Amino acid sequence: MTGSDASIGVYDLLLVVMPLSLALGGISSLVFSVSAAVGLAGGSIPAGGAVGYALFVDPPGRGITDR
């Protein structure tokens, strides 16, 4: 596979969004002096939305040819 064949798919972006939102929530709890539970809860909302999108809106069972 060459560099021109590679592309970023929806699931690749979702795998970036989920931990990034949790990390930003954790960092925000340190920066803005809120409790860690509040920061991580705020970060888990977009992470949960990404999981919900991946499971129910665009499930992985359909395959690439159906898009």
Read off the tokens for 64: 């690439």
Quick one: average pLDDT of 27-56? 93
Instruction: Indicate yes or no: pTM above 0.75.
Output: no
More confident residue, 65 or 39: 39
Instruction: Give the burial string for 37-55 (b: 16+ CB within 10 Å, else e).
Output: eebbebbeebbeebeeebe
Average pLDDT, the chain: 86
Has residue 48 got a pLDDT over 90? yes
